[in-house]
Chains A and B, each alone.
Chain A
């Protein structure tokens, strides 16, 4: 299995809702990532988990809450979002973590398209 699977593919939520995005990989990778991508912009790093511990948090607002239940799963909990948070949320994984000086080759999922009304 060489895939990163993200669910749901599409999510529409109100500003008072609580929802979650899910990401799963079975490649034995030890690092997992959340990126946010707005239209016609490059992906922006949000969080990195390495060996199930949060290793990088790029000053993301607390309305985004990551969780790594085990080495294969990464969730992003969403609460009290704003319309400007509407974007494509991409999950990725890599064999090694950014904390190492290794190749850090990322495999990306297909993304979850989030719309906040």
Chain B
């Protein structure tokens, strides 16, 4: 059974720092991996989607990498801002038909000004 783990569970950094969020998964048979952002009490906003054949995706100050063979993904945030404060969730889609997204528990990021 696929399990997704995110480390750390919480992270506090001063504004301007570069930071890395980690996501690991136990079954490398994935179709893709998505990173989401969730503000308190709100829905999920998709940030980046990496297909299993890709190594990384970039969007603005965000860069997500994928090492499928080792079961790891990282989300790199450059020059963090207070507006980046949120919970970041990763989720994997398995290759087996009939499986839905499996989410990690998330990393809650706080960026202080």
Chain A residues near B (Cβ < 8 Å)? 6, 33, 40-43, 45, 48, 56, 88, 90, 92, 98-111, 113
Q: In the complex, are the beta carbons of B42 and A111 less than 8 A apart?
A: yes
When A and B form their complex, what is the total count of cross-chain residue pairs whose Cβ atoms lie within 8 Å? Answer: 63
Task: Determine the interface band of chain B, counting residues with CB < 8 A from chain A.
Answer: 20 to 34
Which residues of B lie under 8 Å from residue A42 when comparing CB positions? Answer: 89, 103-106
Task: Flag whether B60 is at the interface (Cβ < 8 A).
Answer: no
With A42-B89, A92-B44, A108-B46 known, 18 other A-B pairs at CB within 8 A are A33-B100, A42-B105, A43-B89, A45-B100, A45-B101, A98-B97, A98-B99, A99-B98, A103-B31, A103-B32, A104-B93, A104-B101, A105-B34, A105-B49, A108-B36, A108-B43, A111-B41, A111-B43
Chain B residues near A (Cβ < 8 Å)? 31-32, 34, 36, 41-46, 49, 51, 89, 93, 95-101, 103-106
Describe A's contact surface by its main secondary structure: loop
